[in-house]
Amino acid sequence: MNNMRKIKFGIIGCGLMGREFASAAARWCHLLKPTAIPEIAAICDKNSDLFDWYLQSFPGIIMATKDYRELLANDEVEAVYCAVPHSLHKDIYIDIIKAGKHLLGEKPFGIDMQANQAILDEIEKHPGLMVRSSSEFPFYPGAQRVARAIQENEFGKIIEVNAGFLHSSDINPNKAINWKRMVDINGEYGCMGDLGLHVFHLPLRMGWMPERVYAQLLNLMPERSDGHGGIVPCETWDNAILNCDVRTEDGRYFPMICKTYRIAPGETDTWYIEIKGTRKSIAYSTKYPKTLMTMDYEPGGTQEWRREDLGYETLFPCITGGIFEFGFTDAILQMWAAFVEELATGNAGDFGCATPEETRLSHRVFTAALESQRDKKAVEILKS
C-alpha cells in the first residue's frame, strides 16, 4: 500500500461512531484492491478523555483538539467524518464544507428539514466537494442481493414491502436518558431521525419514494431515569410505523411499511427488508445475517421459500474467504470503501453511500410522518 494515494481524515465526534470509522481505517489491509487509503490525521471532541484510545492506536495523528474549527483550519486534513449529536449537524457540517473539506456526515443529516436544507444549500455552492451520509446496512451481502433483485424487477406485481430497523434496549425502564432521547438534541423525529435513513436508504436508491404516509408514532416510555436517582420526561418517539404508498413506474401503487423501533422486544440491531410479489418474493434480515430467503412462483406451481446461506460476497473484495460470515463492522468497512473509492476515483462502483439528495427525501418522509401523527390522517409527501 506504500504508493497508494493517502487521504488524510479528521474525525469530529470521537464517540461510538468515531471509533468505528477509525477502526475500519486501521484494517484497510482487509480490502484487496483499494485505490486509496484513509489516514486518521486529526481528531476533535469536546470530551478530551476520548483522545487516549485514538492516540494509542493511531500514531499518525498530528492534532487532537476540543475545537472543531482548529481541525478545519488544518490544511493537511482533506476529508472529515463527523459523528456528533443531531442538533450540531447543521452548523458543523456547513463549517466543514465551507472549509473546503470532503465530508461523510452522519444521519439524519440535520436535526430537521430546515437544517437539512441549509446543509444541502451549502453543498450546492461547493460542487468540487464530495459529501455523503453514513448508512451501512445496505452494504450487507443480503441487502445487496435484494437491491439486485429489485433492479432485475422479477416480482410481478409487488404486493407489499416491509422494511425496518429494530432496537430493544429502551424496553428497560431503568435505562438512563441520553441525548438520543431528548427532543432538543436528537430532534422531533425521535426514533425516525435516529434509525430512519437506515430503513429508507435502499428503497430510495431503488426509486421508491413514498407519495403519502400514514404514521403511527408511539412514546411508550414518557419518563426515564436521569441516571442520578431522579426521573425526567422523555418526549421522543420510541417507535414509528410509517405506512407508505409507493407508485410504480407503470402507475400502480404498493404499500411499503417501514418500522423504526427503539422498543422491539428481543431485537438488538435488526435491519430487514422484505418484498412480496405475485411472481417473486425476497426477504433479508440482519437477525440471520447469512440467510437470504427467496420464493419464485410460476402460476399454478408450488409456493416454496428457498433459504440460501450467503457467504462473504462483498462489493469491494476482501481477504476473507467467500465461505465465511459477514457482520456489522464489515458493513462499516464496505461503506467506507465506497466513500474512499468514490472520493479517489469519482466512481463508487455498484452502490455508493447515501447521497445528500437521499437524506433530503428521507426528511420529507419524516416531516410528513410528524404531520400525519399530529392530524391523524394520511399526508401527501412533498418531493421538492
Ligand X SMILES: NC(=O)c1ccc[n+]([C@@H]2O[C@H](COP(=O)([O-])OP(=O)(O)OC[C@H]3O[C@@H](n4cnc5c(N)ncnc54)[C@H](O)[C@@H]3O)[C@@H](O)[C@H]2O)c1
Q: Provide the grid cell at 19.
A: 471509533
Q: Provide the grid cell at 192.
A: 425516525
Closest to ligand X by CB, 133 vs 372, is 133
Closest to ligand X by CB, 10 vs 203, is 10
Closest to ligand X by CB, 190 vs 277, is 190
- Concatenating the DSSP letter of every residue in 219-284 gives -S-SEEE-SSS-EEE--S-SEEEEEEEEE-TTS-EEEEEEEEES--TT-SSEEEEEEEESSEEEEE
Closest to ligand X by CB, 93 vs 316, is 93
Q: Label the pairing between strands 158-166 and 253-261.
A: parallel
Query: Which residues are near ligand X by CB under 6 A?
Result: 12-17, 44-47, 50, 68, 83-86, 88, 106-107, 134, 136, 194
Pairwise CA distance, residues 246 & 285, whole Å? 22
Closest to ligand X by CB, 202 vs 282, is 202
Pairwise CA distance, residues 155 & 53, whole Å? 49
CB of 317 to ligand X, least distance (A): 23
CB of 281 to ligand X, least distance (A): 27
Q: Tell me the residue nearest to ligand X as measured from the CB.
A: 15
Closest to ligand X by CB, 36 vs 50, is 50
CB of 32 to ligand X, least distance (A): 24
Phi-psi region of 323 (alpha: psi -120 to 50; beta: other; left: phi over 0): alpha
Pairwise CA distance, residues 288 & 267, whole Å? 12
Q: Are 116 and 109 in contact (CB under 8 A)?
A: yes
CB of 13 to ligand X, least distance (A): 4
CB of 144 to ligand X, least distance (A): 17
Q: Are 150 and 275 in contact (CB under 8 A)?
A: yes
**120: nearest Cα among 384, 353, 359:** 359
Closest to ligand X by CB, 286 vs 373, is 286
CB of 251 to ligand X, least distance (A): 35
CB of 271 to ligand X, least distance (A): 10
Give 285's strand partners: 272
Give 213's strand partners: 244, 379
CB of 350 to ligand X, least distance (A): 20
Pairwise CA distance, residues 249 & 287, whole Å? 32
Closest to ligand X by CB, 122 vs 136, is 136
CB of 125 to ligand X, least distance (A): 23
Q: How far is CA 168 from the centre of its chain?
A: 18
Closest to ligand X by CB, 214 vs 271, is 271
Pairwise CA distance, residues 151 & 18, whole Å? 33
Pairwise CA distance, residues 319 & 109, whole Å? 33
Pairwise CA distance, residues 194 & 12, whole Å? 18
